């Protein structure tokens, strides 16, 4: 929390802060100036969908001074009651349409399964509420377009939870790579590996599809919309362009348990100039964890770990330092032949931190969230915007681009063909 506050204080205030803000204008609703302006005011917030992610948001909301949770809605009683225990005094609803009639609500946070994002978002905007919806934007291409179009005509604030846009290590990393630290970007490799079945316990069989919604196509786009969505968005931000063609292969390799979505995907996104994103996700082996890797002519950035490596690095490696320090001490104690002596991985590449100090790293296993991964900052920005009415710069557009690309990834895998980005789903924000 302290680290995050320090980061937010720096926005627009100290050297480097203004430049960071210039490159990430969507942060404007959480600058210290804006937070000072709204001091003492509280956005009246309601949550629709109070399962794992909804309850995670509640924990963050309780720490945001300019937010008050006034209502909760869930159609599954145990999850509604679990959330109610965290927010005494909040009104409880079982039907989100009834909640939307409540005039004492400024903004709603939607954390329901993907299949219902578009319908609830559209209803909430029509009811005059500000909306923060979980990623991905929607389950189908047409739903994404409908939400995007509705937002163009709406005077309400709309956010999608693309938290990497609010994560300090990603933001500072983007700034460094846009300033040329790793040279021209020549490719990207993103992966997300887990070793878990994604299943939840179901109290009675008729609830299987409702509780394990992630496994069924009517509610979920599988690995692409659940995981890749965040990572494709990072690639789009890094190169400032949208891939033109998409091909891939998807299979159910290990979890043959009645699920409909792939447990193994490999998708290649190709930009007009030939650069590619190589995307891979597998949930029956976690050796490689999760990473968003940007490859430049002069270096490589691993944004999830918050480190970069340079192709020509004049700084000294750990092994060189160790040998030097041993030379200065007792040469005979150098354990060169010992079993503990291993070559450094990646030859001479030395990791440099993007952000100094302790940072949160997503090892890939956590489904709900990682502390300080930007989820609390984006939520704070939304609550501030519920008070000021300030629209989010580029957040809806980025969510639209990332979601459409993930859905096209699924389409390419299902149809086993290379897909060109369809004209109909292009928006003015996209540069190819
Ligand atoms: N941004 C991130 O990093 C991140 C992380 C985890 C989950 N998510 C997203 O959050 C969303 C929820 O995921 P989850 O793991 O919390 O799922 P979950 O199943 O734990 O919770 C979803 C809740 O929504 C409720 N619900 C379903 N339909 C509803 C309706 N019409 N009205 C009211 N409530 C309804 C369910 O009963 C359930 O309690 C998904 O879109 C998921 O992709 C995002």
Answer yes or no: do 8 and 50 share one domain. Answer: yes
Q: Give the range of the structural domain holding residue 121, as residue numbers without chain letter.
A: 2-165+372-398
Greatest extent of the chain over all pairs of C-alpha atoms, in Å: 79
Q: For residue 278, what pLDDT band results from cuts at 50, 70 and 90? A: very high
Ligand 1 center to 58 CA (angstroms): 13
Ligand 1 close to Cβ of residue 412 (< 6 A): no
Ligand 1 close to Cβ of residue 369 (< 6 A): yes
As to burial, measured by CB atoms within 10 angstroms (0-12 exposed, 13-18 middle, 19+ buried), residue 271 is: buried
Q: What is the H or E stretch that residue 61 is in?
A: helix 52-61
Specify the pLDDT at position 363.
Answer: 73
Q: For residue 364, what pLDDT band results from cuts at 50, 70 and 90? A: confident
pLDDT: which is higher, 282 or 16: 282
| CA distances (Å), origin 84, targets 55, 72, 99 | 10, 7, 15
Report yes or no: 190 and 231 within 8 Å, Cβ to Cβ.
yes
The string of pLDDT tens digits covering residues 368-388 is 667 778 999 999 999 999 999
Report yes or no: 303 and 294 within 8 Å, Cβ to Cβ.
yes
Nearest CA, atom 5, ligand 1:
368
- Nearest Cα neighbor of 375 from 194, 173, 165 is 165
Least confident of 335-349, 369-383, 398-412: 335-349
Residue 213 has pLDDT above 90, yes or no: yes
Residue 262 counted as domain residue: no
Token pair for 134: 């979980």
Residue 145 has pLDDT above 70, yes or no: yes
Residue 284 counted as domain residue: no
Specify the pLDDT at position 325.
Answer: 65
Residue 241 counted as domain residue: no
Say which CATH number the domain at 384 has.
3.40.50.720
Answer yes or no: do 314 and 388 share one domain. Answer: no
Per-residue pLDDT, averaged over 140-158, amounts to 98
Point out the ligand 1 atom lying closest to the alpha carbon of residue 120: 31
Residue 6 counted as domain residue: yes
4: how many CB neighbours lie within 10 A of its CB? 18
Residue 353 has pLDDT above 50, yes or no: yes
Point out the ligand 1 atom lying closest to the alpha carbon of residue 367: 6
> Using CA atoms, how far apart are residues 156 and 130, in angstroms rounded to an integer?
5
pLDDT: which is higher, 329 or 75: 75
Q: For residue 355, what pLDDT band results from cuts at 50, 70 and 90? A: confident
Among 319, 353, 387, the domain boundary falls at 353
Least confident of 11-25, 349-363, 406-420: 11-25
Per-residue pLDDT, averaged over 230-258, amounts to 97
Specify the pLDDT at position 67.
Answer: 97
Residue 389 has pLDDT above 90, yes or no: yes
Answer yes or no: do 381 and 329 share one domain. Answer: no
Nearest CA, atom 40, ligand 1:
113
Report yes or no: 141 and 407 within 8 Å, Cβ to Cβ.
yes
Q: What is the H or E stretch that residue 280 is in?
A: strand 276-282
| CA distances (Å), origin 62, targets 130, 217, 413 | 19, 34, 41
Highest mean pLDDT among 24-33, 295-304, 310-319, 372-381: 295-304
As to burial, measured by CB atoms within 10 angstroms (0-12 exposed, 13-18 middle, 19+ buried), residue 33 is: exposed
Specify the pLDDT at position 166.
Answer: 94
Residue 241 has pLDDT above 60, yes or no: yes
Specify the pLDDT at position 176.
Answer: 96
> Using CA atoms, how far apart are residues 402 and 428, in angstroms rounded to an integer?
15
Answer yes or no: do 314 and 381 share one domain. Answer: no
Answer yes or no: do 80 and 107 share one domain. Answer: yes
Residue 329 has pLDDT above 90, yes or no: no
Ligand 1 center to 53 CA (angstroms): 6
Ligand 1 center to 54 CA (angstroms): 7
Residue 225 has pLDDT above 60, yes or no: yes
Residue 221 counted as domain residue: no
Ligand 1 center to 198 CA (angstroms): 14
Ligand 1 center to 305 CA (angstroms): 27
Answer yes or no: do 52 and 126 share one domain. Answer: yes
Answer yes or no: do 330 and 378 share one domain. Answer: no
Least confident of 209-213, 220-224, 226-230, 353-357: 353-357
Answer yes or no: do 38 and 98 share one domain. Answer: yes
Q: For residue 337, what pLDDT band results from cuts at 50, 70 and 90? A: low
The DSSP-derived string for 161-173 is --GGGG-HHHHHH
Ligand 1 close to Cβ of residue 54 (< 6 A): yes
Per-residue pLDDT, averaged over 86-101, amounts to 98
> Using CA atoms, how far apart are residues 430 and 283, in angstroms rounded to an integer?
31
Residue 341 has pLDDT above 90, yes or no: no
Ligand 1 close to Cβ of residue 222 (< 6 A): no
Residue 367 has pLDDT above 70, yes or no: no
Ligand 1 close to Cβ of residue 79 (< 6 A): yes
Highest mean pLDDT among 1-15, 178-192, 343-357: 178-192
Q: For residue 13, what pLDDT band results from cuts at 50, 70 and 90? A: very low
Mean pLDDT rounded to a whole number for the chain: 91
What is the count of structural domains for the chain? 2
Ligand 1 center to 91 CA (angstroms): 19
Residue 297 counted as domain residue: no
Residue 21 has pLDDT above 90, yes or no: no
Ligand 1 center to 111 CA (angstroms): 4
Ligand 1 center to 346 CA (angstroms): 39
Residue 188 counted as domain residue: no
The string of pLDDT tens digits covering residues 251-268 is 999 999 999 999 999 999
- Location of structure tokens 């270096």: 299
Specify the pLDDT at position 15.
Answer: 46
Ligand 1 close to Cβ of residue 225 (< 6 A): no
Residue 136, preceding bond cis, omega within 30 degrees? yes
Ligand 1 close to Cβ of residue 145 (< 6 A): no
Residue 199 counted as domain residue: no
């Amino acid at each position: 929390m302290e680290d995050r506050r320090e980061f937010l204080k720096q926005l627009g205030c100290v050297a480097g802060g203004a430049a960071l803000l210039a490159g990430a204008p969507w942060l404007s609703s959480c600058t210290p100036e804006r937070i000072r302006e709204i001091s003492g005011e509280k956005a009246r917030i309601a949550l629709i969908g109070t399962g794992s992610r909804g309850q995670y948001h509640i924990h963050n909301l309780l720490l945001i001074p300019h937010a008050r949770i006034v209502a909760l809605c869930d159609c599954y009683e145990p999850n509604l009651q679990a959330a109610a225990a965290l927010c005494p005094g909040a009104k409880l609803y079982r039907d989100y349409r009834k909640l939307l009639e409540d005039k004492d609500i400024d903004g709603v946070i939607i954390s329901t399964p993907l299949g219902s994002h578009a319908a609830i978002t559209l209803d909430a905007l029509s009811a005059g509420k500000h909306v923060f919806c979980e990623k991905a934007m929607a389950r189908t291409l047409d739903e994404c377009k409908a939400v995007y179009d509705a937002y163009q005509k709406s005077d309400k604030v709309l956010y999608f939870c693309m938290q990497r846009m609010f994560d300090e290590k990603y933001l500072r990393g983007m700034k460094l790579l846009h300033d040329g630290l790793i040279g021209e970007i020549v490719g990207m490799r993103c992966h997300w590996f887990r070793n878990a079945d994604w299943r939840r316990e179901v109290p009675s069989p008729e609830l299987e599809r409702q509780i394990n919604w992630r496994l069924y196509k009517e509610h979920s786009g599988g690995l692409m919309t659940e995981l890749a969505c965040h990572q494709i968005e990072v690639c789009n931000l890094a190169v400032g362009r949208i891939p033109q063609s998409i091909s891939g292969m998807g299979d159910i390799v290990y979890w043959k348990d009645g699920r409909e979505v792939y447990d193994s995907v490999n998708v290649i996104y190709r930009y007009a100039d030939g650069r590619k994103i190589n995307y891979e996700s597998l949930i029956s082996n976690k050796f490689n964890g999760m990473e968003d890797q940007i490859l430049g002519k002069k270096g490589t950035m691993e944004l999830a770990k918050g480190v970069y490596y340079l192709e020509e690095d004049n700084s000294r490696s750990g092994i060189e330092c160790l040998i030097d320090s041993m030379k200065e001490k007792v040469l005979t104690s150098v354990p060169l032949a010992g079993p503990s002596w291993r070559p450094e991985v990646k030859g001479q590449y030395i990791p440099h931190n993007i952000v100094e100090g302790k940072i949160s790293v997503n090892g890939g296993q956590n489904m709900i969230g990682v502390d300080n991964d930007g989820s609390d900052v984006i939520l704070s920005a939304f609550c501030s915007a519920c008070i000021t009415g300030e629209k989010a710069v580029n957040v809806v557009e980025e969510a639209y681009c990332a979601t459409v690309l993930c859905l096209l990834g699924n389409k390419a895998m299902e149809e086993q063909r290379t897909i060109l980005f369809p004209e109909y789903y292009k928006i003015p924000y996209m540069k190819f």
